[in-house]
A and B are shown apart, each in its own frame.
Chain A
Amino acid sequence: MDLEFTAADEEFRAEARAWLAGHVPATPLPSLETAEGFAAHREWEHWLAADRWSVVSWPEEYGGRGASLLQWLVFEEEYYAAGAPGRVSQNGIRLLAPTLFEHGTEEQRARVLGPMARGEVIWAQAWSEPESGSDLASLRSAAVRTDGGWLLSGQKTWSSRAAFADRAFGLFRSDPDATRPHQGLTYLMFPLDAPGVTVRPIGRLDGKPAFAELFLDEVFVPDAEVIGEPGQGWRIAMSTAGKERGLTLRSPGRFTAAAERLTALWREAPEGAGPALGDRVADAWIGARAYQLFTYAHASRIVAGDAGGLGAESSLNKVFWSELDIALHETALDLLGPYGMLADDADEAPAHGSWAEGYTFSLAGPIYAGTNEIQRDIIAERLLGLPKGRR
């Protein structure tokens, strides 16, 4: 990568690279969507945190390195190029933590962030409900005022990581009489082992319990678990949703590393693969490079003080990376021929099943974090100025 990084950036890159070279497990960890893999990934988070690599962009007092946005991108590039494990603590680090930094109290940050950074407390995201997916504002789970806190009741679903996680964060309707669906929502954190919480794991396409349903029956949470003002949950959560779609969820390092691995895979047997597959490999490489450059350009603008920020532009990102991810993995499976169909836990799965696992994971991309249909509506209406219509 020929960015003009400062000497400090290069030093940071070298330090990260050296640490990763010495610590990344030689054999990939089992899938983090299994009990065994979850535990192994939790331990990996602990090792990352011990040398302050788990949350590099956070301030030092919370276990970070105060790394700049560009340095964070550098770290991610090195992380994925080294073949390091997926991040089981991602929901907390990427979605909840930015919200706490922006809207949380001093007490919440002190209590929540350290254990999150060390992998001691793994967070699940609990937004969707059976009747509220893309139309998130229609959610019905309730938070009812009680002495010193709230009683949560209702049902959450598609809650990523919730099968094995410790705590969750989500939105609840605290004012059922509010005139508009976006009003009267409160953003709360709650433990998954509290009385009144039932967790029912849901197998995803490959059967692994990657998410869960949560049934809440008058679960008590104290006031200290409210993020921001009660009733302001929508505004606060949306500032997090922008992050989920944008830069912070899918760093380019993940795709450039996969594209390099894909190109290497193609070079092993280009004559067997045929020109049509070669074109797809090239397109995947071009897509990953485009995503990397788009992100760097975006980051440069943010660093230069252009607060245009993420907003509707994050929808461009989301559609692009989710489709790129599928293209990368589908092309890899095609290149693997008869071995492409082997599940990631099959003994003979190529690359320890990492292509198969990545393929399954990629299929969810266009669905979660706001479906790509919703993203395209946002792009058309907010970036191109087209009139709203019936969905």
Chain B
Amino acid sequence: MRFLLTDEQRDFARALDGMLGASGTPAVVRAWAAGEHKPGRALWARLAEAGVFGLAVPERHGGAGLLPVELALSFTELGRHAVPGPLVETVAAAAFLERLGSDSLAGEWLPRIAAGEAVLSLCAGAGPYALDADAADAVLVVRGDTVCRTDTHGPVQTTLDPARRVARPLGGTVVARGPAVTAAAAHAIEVARLATAAQSLGLGRALLAATVSYVKQRTQFRVPIGSFQAVKHRLADTLIALEFAQPLVHAAALAVAAGAPSAGREVAAAKVAAGEAGHGAARTALQLHGALGYTEELDLSLWIRKARPLRDAWGSPADCRARVLTG
């Protein structure tokens, strides 16, 4: 197991961070929350150019191969900048289609996913809803050993994170059936959990950084509130949670890359730790920003409101803890 990132991996993450930092993501998120997907799709196109979606698509379909470590690194950056949309679902759908063994389905979708032209939503495992069904080009719905494709859905439901809009997929045509579907879905859930964990980690890092800089400049009783021990200790605990979640996410990515039998457990462990760390960072950010943090005007609210749904997406903490105990 290689614990150190290569220079290329480091540069890739840094470049993505720089690009997203200059993209004005808060406006994109607010538009997405209003059902206006255009700026989001434009951002997706740029992410595809940077190679993000190709990380989940094999070379023969125009991607770079499933590269879980790079995927985790990019999703950390996507989380750091709160990029909206069914990002996890699209790469999980790619992982699913790649494993399914259907050349026609793979040929139809994978090159378009790699190019950033196709946005997919995937509904597999827990819950009746598909994320961003109204923004997706298609929704794949896995039930047991059957997978359907549908373009229709019920009314859009808002969630605690206004940028996460869900709907029930309706109707659909069966596109594959059999044990390959079950196996591919299990793999896709693993990839989805990994990407979600990485997103939580990046989200938490951003929340911590913003809060640290806020408590340095906000004064009360004539001193910065960051000099109070109660404030410092809460931030120290937030950093500890994030620092110890990070190697779990990295190791989970390595386990998925190696196809290790332990991957399911490693991914579940990473998901619990990163989800809780991101959610904890949001609680800390809210508390230390005070009433200001409780307003939707503050851009940071876009990050704060994401933390809880991410913690619960693709396997709640309880589900993932149970998976850890299975061994």
Contact = CB atoms under 8 A, between A and B. Distances in A.
Interface of A: 2-4, 263, 266, 270, 275, 278-279, 281-283, 285-287, 289-291, 293-294, 296-297, 300-301, 304, 316, 319-320, 373, 375-377, 379-381, 383-391
Contact of A385 (B212, B236, B269, B273): B212
11 contacts: A278-B325, A282-B272, A289-B269, A291-B244, A296-B3, A320-B244, A380-B226, A381-B232, A383-B239, A384-B239, A389-B223
Q: Could you say which interface size class chain B belongs to?
A: 35 or more
Interface string B263-298: 000100100110000000000000000000000000
B48 interface: no
Contacts of A391: 229
B240 A379 contact: yes
B291 to A, nearest CB: 22
B215 interface: yes
Contact of B232 (A263, A266, A294, A376): A376
Interface in B214-249: 215-216, 223-224, 226-229, 231-233, 235-237, 239-240, 243-245, 247-248
B236 A290 contact: no
A259 B242 CA distance: 21
A3 B318 CA distance: 28
B132 to A, nearest CB: 30
Nearest to A391: B229
A300 B4 contact: yes
Interface of B: 1-4, 212, 215-216, 223-224, 226-229, 231-233, 235-237, 239-240, 243-245, 247-248, 250-251, 254-255, 258, 260, 262, 266, 269, 272-273, 317-318, 321-322, 324-325, 327
Given A286-B248, A290-B247, A389 B236 contact: no
Nearest to B224: A387
Contacts of B254: 2
B212 A386 contact: yes
Main secondary structure of the interface of A (DSSP, over half): helix
A299 B251 CA distance: 15
A287 B243 CA distance: 12
Main secondary structure of the interface of B (DSSP, over half): helix
B262 A319 contact: no
Contacts of A320: 240, 244
A289 B232 CA distance: 27
A377 B230 CA distance: 10
Contacts of A278: 321-322, 325
B273 A290 contact: yes
Contact of B269 (A266, A286, A304, A376): A286
Interface core residue of B229, B236, B322 (most chain A CB under 10 Å): B236
Interface core residue of B4, B254, B324 (most chain A CB under 10 Å): B324
A316 B240 contact: yes
B237 to A, nearest CB: 7
A286 B274 CA distance: 11
Given A286-B248, A297-B250, A380 B2 contact: no
A213 B113 CA distance: 69
Given A278-B321, A316-B244, A384-B235, 6 more contacts: A278-B325, A279-B318, A282-B324, A290-B244, A319-B240, A384-B232
Nearest to B241: A320
Interface core residue of B4, B223, B321 (most chain A CB under 10 Å): B321
A154 to B, nearest CB: 30
Contacts of A383: 236, 239
A320 B237 CA distance: 9
A283 B317 CA distance: 10
A358 B182 CA distance: 44
Contacts of A3: 1, 3
Nearest to A263: B325
A172 B215 CA distance: 39
B210 to A, nearest CB: 12
A118 B59 CA distance: 59
